[in-house]
Structure formats: structure tokens, C-alpha cells
A and B are shown apart, each in its own frame.
Chain A
Amino acid sequence: MFILKGVSRSFGAVLALERVNLTVESGKTTVLIGPSGCGKSTLLRLMLGLLAPTSGGLEFEGAPITPANAPALRQRMGYVVQGGGLFPHLTARENVALLARHLGWSRECTEARTRELALLARIEDDIWDRYPREISGGQGQRVALVRALMLDPEVLLLDEPLGALDPLVRADLQEGLAQVFSTLKKTVVLVTHDLGEAAFFGHTLVLMQGGRIVQEGSLKELQETPADPFVTRFLEAQGRLVV
């Protein structure tokens, strides 16, 4: 679905990504993992065409992503920014319906789609007319997810969708999300810096450090044939949590 070839991106003197090669397969969940600041969010932004690479190229479904076609491509992708990115001036319902309304969907159609997704994401009924500041972080994350799924996108790009949640809620939501992904058979690119979560979701784990991909593969591959001492260190630092 996505093919990245030698993608680099720098911000002034900071090299956020350095010659990244990556293939994201359809229908699979790819997890980007790595320490804070290693370039995970930047990589997602490049895939969405929100940022252009400094060098190298990206393809989506075989066609290169350019500033010209990016807006059209983005309508086929669902994105949840780090932190949810719900608009504080709109209620949960309005947030979710914003784009659909613009595309001229009927109210009934939007409502039906919202209900269907709410069920999947296990969202309580009584939060829909509240503003983002009136709902909890976890509820907000789920609403953001529903907003991203509204148009039934081919790909979901999720930047720490479960960040900053307490462990219990987190575990519960992981279940929910996993169910959503498998039910809808989506291609998912998910960012986390939690190894347990990566292992839970990921068909493929992509471990990054300092703007480079250190290794990609299943958790097992990473554990058994580490490409670099960093892999082992990273796994060990977090590994105590993995069963």
C-alpha cells in the first residue's frame, strides 16, 4: 500500500528521518515503535503528504505522493493525530460529522454510520453532545478514531491512539481497537513507544532510532535475530512487561 524509498527529512539542522525504506502491506497492521523523538510522527506526516520529503520518494497504491495529489489521497486515509486533535469548538457529534456534512451526506446517513462505529469503538451514548473539554481523554481518543473511520478509509494512520491513558482503560481500548481493525480489515499504521502495545497489534514491528529504521519484523524475529545491540537493549528495557 505504501512504499518508501530512501526517504529523508530534515528540519533545519535536525535530521528527523534518514534514508528510510519501508513497505506497508495492505490489510496488515504495521507498528512504528521507538524512543521519543526518533521520527515516528514525522514518518506518518510524510505518508499523509502533510510534509514533503527532503529527498527520496513515497508511493501510495503505486502512485507517487505529491503536494498536488496529497489532498485527494488524504480523503482515502484516516488519521488520528497524536493527542486526538478533536476540534474544541465542536461537540463530539459535530467533530465526527464535519467532513461528511461537507461531502453532502444526509443527516440519517451520518447518524447511522456514527452509531455503527460507536458500537465498535464502545462509545457511550451520552457523550455525543458534549464538547471535547467535557469528555475524558480515553473517550476523546475513541471519538477521534470514529472521526477517522467515518469515510471508511482504506488506510488508518494512528499516532499514539492510546497515549496518556491509564493502564486499565488502555488495555480495554486495545481490545476494542484490535477488534475494529480485524472487523474492518484495514491497513493500519500505528505509532507507539510501548512494546507491549506494539506486540499486541503488530503483524510487523518497525523499530526506529534517531531517524533510521533499525529493524523490522515480528516481535519474535526482533527477539531472536536482533540486527543491532540497540534492538536488544530496547526490548530488554521494555521487555519485562511483555509476557
Chain B
Amino acid sequence: MRKRKVLLLLGCLAAAFVPLTERVDGLRVGSKKFTESVILGELVALTAQEAGVDMLHARELGGTRIVYEALLAGEIDVYPEYTGTLTQEIFAGERIDDLGALRERLLKDGIIMSARLGFNNGYALGMLAERAHALGIETVSDLAGHTDLVLGFGNEFMDRQDGWPALQRIYGLPQQSVSGMDHDLAYRQLSLGVIDVMEVYTTDAGIRYHNIKLLRDDREHFSLYEAVLLYRADLDKREPRLVRGMLALTEKISAVDMLAMNSAAQLERIPEREVAARFLAEALSLEVAPKVETRLLRLKKYTLEHLAMVRLSFLLAILCGLPLGILAAKKRRLGQVVLALVGMIQTIPALALLVILIQPAAFLGLGGVGSGSAAAIAALFLYSLLPIVRNTCEGLRDISPDLSEAALALGLPPAARLFEVELPLASRTILAGLKTAAILNIGFATLGALIGAGGYGQPILTGIRLDDSALILEGALPSALLALLAQGLFEILDRVLIPAGLRLPPAD
């Protein structure tokens, strides 16, 4: 019996260290979580492939902050960006008047800005064409006359210096109902008539798809958003071939090209990689055969990435959570502090926690973003602690005083008391805590995709972006299945680890 348990535990430990995902130490191009950025990322990756350089595309890394930080930390080597975003968001509060000043400012961070890729993708306000026509709205100024319009903006736009606050001031917009939401969801809300006005990027495929009218920026509030590539200054030395290859893209992509590519990806559901390859063939006469992934291969990759995240973070949570729980049970004062701290972590929003953890992870030389992301694993670890610590503590405190006294009076040394009596008696509660933690962990791990850790969150993110329910299910279903599987596994574990004597119905 004891032997079986020890073997089981050793087996679990060993399984936890079998590598699941390959760690790519080569170069990485990053992209943000919207289609255009992903396509541009694919373009860079394909030019790298063409130049014979190994390069990984860390797709859909979430918002600007995450990607820029990742570039600074060297987690990625290059990513597509927009000049407006740099001046308005990254260097908000610094005075940067022209592109020359911007270029110099970036160099201070060790980052080089390429020449423009060829198109401007600025902000504009949009309405369904029909509705705009009916209300006779042509320009942003016209909005001022329609007080009860409902406005919905992407969360980023709500907070940006040049976003909603400035727009409201400059145009004197009177609308009361203004809400922040995910940019991709805003399209849906707009087409459902839940909101009347949203912000769009001028090359968004959604503009064509939903037949959206762009309102003229008659006071020229929005700045230029020229697409450029940002790359680390050392890249020129490390891979001159790559830099030469990707810089061939500059001045080659027109706004029309970009809108066409966005539409192909978003509306015709052609994979971004293929869209990019077609463009390279047509515009640059570069024939690159993109590696295609079948759905099954994709699923396998997501599963392995997901498991890798869950496994390591969960194991660490057990290794730390059990001792912390024991400590909390034995030392009342300290216990309260520990439980309060662990509980507090639970209240930090997941995205915030992920972003906070990227820098420290990079500082420690661990992968902050990308698959096997230490930041994602650390966040999951922190989230898993609470149920483990709390249940361990409660399980131990709930042991009947008679039994603790019997163990004490028997003269068992403290360690033996803990391992032979207290932990087995608390095993049911402890295992219930582990089960909760595992299931939470599997669910939370879908958020890892926000910082490129992959897993089942990846198709969910892409699915939301492309408004593709099938793709969302491709991530949501296996994730739910995995949670069920974990549940089942723990039922079995209950059988093995909860002593038989405790599984009997209590006498009388």
C-alpha cells in the first residue's frame, strides 16, 4: 500500500518533467492580437525563412505594452508597430515631434525603427453605413448633434491619450453612454445595433464586412499610424541576412494591399501565413512555401503547450502550497497572514498579473513570453495556491482533538505525527483543494495565450479576433474536456490516496 503510493507520487513527479514543447532559442517575431499585426508577423517570418534563418512567430501577444516590453526584454527580436502608437502610447508624456525624434528616442532603448512599410492604419470612428445615412452623419462633428447615440470603444482606445478622452474634448461630444469593450467584440455589438459608433483601424477588414462608414476626422485629431518594423539594434550584427530580408518589405505594402490581406484572412478565413505567402509571391516575387498545419497537428500542439503550462505551475503550487498550508495550520498568527496574502493574489486580474510578471521573468533570464512562458507559469502557480493552502490548513485544523491528542500522547515525534496521522486524516480535504486548483488552473491557462504561451487559449483568441465560433470551440472544448479529465483523475487519486479506513461510512 505504502509502496504503491510512493511509486504513484514518483511517477507523477517524473511525468512533470518530461519536456512537452520544444524550446526555440532562435529568433522570434512578435505580433499583437489583431489580424493585421499577425499577417505582418507572418510576412517577417516568411522573409526569414526565405533568407534561411530559423525564426518563430510568437503570435497574438496581446496589447502594445506586452509586445513592446517583450522586445525590450529581448523575448522577441522584431515586431510590427505603428508610429502613432509609439508617440501616443509608449512615449505618451514625452514630446516627440517628428519621425526623426521618434527614431532617436527608440535608439535610446536599443531599438531600430525601419522605414515605413507603406500604409497608414490610423484610427477613425465608424458607424453602420445605413444608420449613418439615416441620421445624416458624415463627419465626427456631426455626432455632437445626436446625444443619445451609444458609443463603444476598445479598452485601449478608452485609455489612450489620443483616444476617447481627447476626442470628446476636441469635438465636444455629449454622449453619456460610452463603454469600453474588446475591440473584436465591438464589431459584433455594432452589427447587432447594441452600439452605434465604434473606433476602427482604417485597414480593418471588418469595415468591408459590416459595411461600415468611416466618419471624416474634420478637425484632424487622429495622428498618423504609419506601419513600421521595430527590431533590436543588435539584430543587424546577429542576423544581417534576416534584417536585409525583412527590410525588403518596406515601402511595398500599400493600404489597398493591406486591406485586401486583412479581408482575405478575416472574411475568407484564409490562414494568415498563406495570405502572407501569396502577397510575397505577387508583390516581391518571393516564392516561399509556408509550412501548413492540419487541425490535428494544431490540436496536438495546443494540448502540449497547455499541459506544459498547467503541469509545471500546478506542481510548483503543490510543492509550495502544502508546506504553506501546514505552516498556516500550525501557527495561527502566521497562518492568518499567509491565507490573507494568498487570498489577495486571487483578486489581481489575470491580465494584470501576467503583464506584471513579464519583466521579472525576463530579468531572471526565463522566457517571459512565448511558449513555456515563465510569466504564464508563475501566474498560474500563484492562482493555484489559494485552494491548496486553504484546504490543507482547514483539513489539518479540522482533525478531531481526540485524535491529535492520542497521537501526541502516544509519543510520536512531530514529523511522524504529521505524515502518519495528520496528513492522512486531512487527505480528503487536501485532495479536494488540489482538485479545485487543477481545474481552475486548466481554465486560467487559456489566458496564457495573451502572452504567447500558446495552449487552448490560442484558438480562442484567434476565434474571437476572426469572429469564428468554430475556432473558439477548437480551444474551449478541449479545455473543458481536459478539466473533466482532471476531475476524473482526481476521483481515482482519491481512491488511492485517501486511506481505506476513511472511506468507510463513519460508525454510528
Chain B 402-428 residues near chain A, CB threshold 8 A: 402-403, 405-413, 416, 420-421, 424-425, 427
Cross-interface CB contact of A85 among B406, B416, B420, B501, cutoff 8 Å? B406
Asked whether A48 and B500 contact (CB < 8 A) given A87-B403, A89-B424, the answer is no
Chain A 32-54 residues near chain B, CB threshold 8 A: 45, 48, 50
Asked whether A134 and B504 contact (CB < 8 A) given A87-B425, A102-B416, the answer is yes
Complex: chain A residue closest to B424, CB-CB:
A89
Q: Does B499 contact A (CB under 8 A)?
A: yes
Are B411 and A74 neighbours in the complex by a CB distance under 8 Å?
yes
Complex: chain A residue closest to B502, CB-CB:
A89
Report the interface size class on chain B.
20 to 34
Q: Does A120 contact B (CB under 8 A)?
A: no
Complex: chain A residue closest to B498, CB-CB:
A89
Q: Does A147 contact B (CB under 8 A)?
A: yes
Alpha-carbon separation in the docked complex, A88 to B409 (Å)? 17
Are B409 and A79 neighbours in the complex by a CB distance under 8 Å?
yes
Are A74 and B409 neighbours in the complex by a CB distance under 8 Å?
yes
Identify whether the interface residues of B are mostly helix, strand, loop, or mixed.
Answer: helix
Alpha-carbon separation in the docked complex, A36 to B436 (Å)? 43
Task: List A contacts of B406 (CB < 8 A).
Answer: 79, 81, 85-87
Alpha-carbon separation in the docked complex, A77 to B406 (Å)? 12
Q: How many A-B residue pairs have CB under 8 A?
A: 74
Complex: chain A residue closest to B421, CB-CB:
A87
Alpha-carbon separation in the docked complex, A150 to B240 (Å)? 80
Alpha-carbon separation in the docked complex, A87 to B504 (Å)? 13
Alpha-carbon separation in the docked complex, A75 to B402 (Å)? 18
Q: Mark B470-508, 1 if CB is under 8 A from A, else 0.
A: 000000000000000000000000000001111011110
Asked whether A81 and B405 contact (CB < 8 A) given A133-B505, A134-B504, the answer is yes
Distance to closest chain B CB from A40 (angstroms): 15
Asked whether A133 and B410 contact (CB < 8 A) given A81-B405, A82-B402, the answer is no
Asked whether A71 and B502 contact (CB < 8 A) given A81-B402, A87-B425, A89-B425, the answer is no
Q: Does A131 contact B (CB under 8 A)?
A: yes
Asked whether A98 and B412 contact (CB < 8 A) given A85-B402, A87-B403, the answer is yes
Task: List B contacts of A50 (CB < 8 A).
Answer: 405, 408-409
Are A88 and B410 neighbours in the complex by a CB distance under 8 Å?
no
Q: Mark A128-151, 1 if CB is under 8 A from B, else 0.
A: 000111100000000000010001
Are B424 and A75 neighbours in the complex by a CB distance under 8 Å?
no
Asked whether A102 and B504 contact (CB < 8 A) given A82-B402, A83-B402, the answer is no
Q: Does A99 contact B (CB under 8 A)?
A: yes
Cross-interface CB contact of A131 among B408, B427, B504, cutoff 8 Å? B504
Q: Does A21 contact B (CB under 8 A)?
A: no
Distance to closest chain A CB from B410 (angstroms): 5
Task: List A contacts of B403 (CB < 8 A).
Answer: 85, 87-88
Q: Can you report 7 residue pairs joining A to B where beta carbons are below 8 Å apart?
A: A50-B409, A74-B408, A88-B403, A88-B504, A99-B411, A102-B412, A131-B501
